[in-house]
Amino acid sequence: MERPDAPPDVVIRRLPLYARSLRYLLEEGVHSVSSQELGERINVTAAQIRKDLSYFGEFGKQGIGYDVEKLLNHIDHILGLTHHWPLVVVGVGSLGQAIARYDGFQTQGLRIVGLFDSDPDKIGQMVDDLTIMDYSRLHAVISEHQARLAVIAVPATRAQEVADMLIEAGIRAILNYAPIILQTPDDVWVRYIDPVAVMHSLTYYLAREQGGAEVKRR
Amino acid sequence: MERPDAPPDVVIRRLPLYARSLRYLLEEGVHSVSSQELGERINVTAAQIRKDLSYFGEFGKQGIGYDVEKLLNHIDHILGLTHHWPLVVVGVGSLGQAIARYDGFQTQGLRIVGLFDSDPDKIGQMVDDLTIMDYSRLHAVISEHQARLAVIAVPATRAQEVADMLIEAGIRAILNYAPIILQTPDDVWVRYIDPVAVMHSLTYYLAREQGGAEVKRR
């Protein structure tokens, strides 16, 4: 099969979903799964799963399926989740607090090592067992933990400035919740979570339906 | 130019980003913008913008660029954002509260008309000016407001059951924050926001870098 050297980003984005499904299966006591069964759980075809995984080697046996635990370990290894990644969160409004409290950010290969805000009233307050710190501490905390990951949860007007500070301090990958596209160097990864934009893409389809136009769904 | 009848979903997902950038430009007092300038703000090429917009008609003039306000109005119209869309939020933990408090969900064409939770201790409490209601009120509130949009912010173990209730009550488009893929009828749209999965796709690239492998960035 012809195959480029590096798996495309869309494959990398699906791997965590495979891993999560495998984790759920393991919790349910399921130890073997076919690509068909795994696919049905995540609305991906069996062929897609096999193709995605083929970038990383040979998994599963024809007619037998995948060993759930082995495949999960493989994917965790591919994703670098064999150890915990320290990360910092900047902006501790309602959203930043929700992130700090969400155990998915404190387990599953991630560990929040610093919460930061510019509001003097918030600094020193605790969110669970983390203390909110001033931006002046950013550099030291990032260096100390060798953090490479950050979450930005500040308003749009402050996000670029915060991104610049983070990158200056050594951050190489950013999850940005602020509704603005960041300008960053080529060696920094940025992903966006933008619920309002997602909602607006849904209203498009709902509006078409109400207008009587034919719409194809995914 | 050859062109399918319906614009692909990836184009629909970019339209809200164009609209937001245009809104920012308008706030800055900018009334005319080239596809080049608009593209730089959102890391999209000028050619891509022109191609995306060409699905919906003729916009802008060669050498003059786009009238910011006109183009924004056009896109808002395309996205169905000429009126407010009522939506309900199910699950009022830290995340649900952050959503309820985020003004992006209360302006910009969206309006939360109901907050729901199954926890008796939460029911009757207020989040800003919204009262948290019991699931038993879901059907009535969705009917009354003719809501078609919902946000699911409950734990993964409850999400499918909540989705079933919502769809039964008339919801046609769901933004799901629960870390699980929902099984839904073909005539229901579902989008996912999954920050931990996004983080895990970033650790992949960071792990590659640390391993010394060459990585191409977007």
CATH number for B56:
1.10.10.10
Search chain A and give the residue with CA nearest B21.
A180
In a domain, A4, yes or no: no
Query: Interface pTM (ipTM) of the complex?
Result: 0.91
Which of residues A113 and A3 earns the better pLDDT score? A113
Count up the domains in chain A and report the number.
2
Answer yes or no: do A93 and A41 share one domain. Answer: no
Concatenating the DSSP letter of every residue in B117-139 gives: -S-TTTTT-EETTEEEE-GGGHH
Low-confidence ranges of chain B (pLDDT < 70): 1-4, 211-218
Report long-range pairs for A130-138 (Cβ below 8 Å, ≥24 apart). A130/A100, A132/A92, A135/A90, A135/A165, A138/A88, A138/A90, A138/A114, A138/A165, A138/A166, A138/A169
Percent of chain A with pLDDT over 70: 94
Least Cα distance to B95 among A122, A21, A155, A177 occurs for: A177
Residues of A in contact with B49 (CB under 8 A): none
Percent of chain A with pLDDT over 90: 83
Q: Tell me, what's the pLDDT at B20?
A: 93
* Mean predicted confidence (pLDDT) in A156-174: 97
Least Cα distance to A162 among A93, A116, A114, A98 occurs for: A116
In a domain, B203, yes or no: no
Residue A96 scores a pLDDT above 50: yes
Search chain B and give the residue with CA nearest A41.
B181
Q: Give the pLDDT confidence of B127-167 residue by residue, as tens digits.
A: 999 999 999 999 999 999 999 999 999 999 999 999 999 99
Q: How far is A25 from chain B (nearest CA, A)?
A: 12
Answer yes or no: do B49 and B19 share one domain. Answer: yes
CA atoms within 13 A on the CB side of B164: 5
Q: Tell me, what's the pLDDT at B3?
A: 52
Provide the strand spans (E) within chain A: 32-33, 66-67, 85-90, 110-116, 126-127, 130-133, 149-152, 173-176, 189-192
CA atoms within 13 A on the CB side of B119: 11
Q: Tell me, what's the pLDDT at B103?
A: 87
Structural domain of B15: 9-78
Is A216 within 8 Å of B81 when comparing Cβ atoms? no
Residue with tokens 């056009």: B74
* Mean predicted confidence (pLDDT) in A187-193: 96
Whichever domain contains B100, its CATH number is 3.40.50.720
Is the CB of B97 inside 8 Å of chain A's CB atoms?
yes
Q: Are B177 and B95 in contact (CB under 8 A)?
A: yes
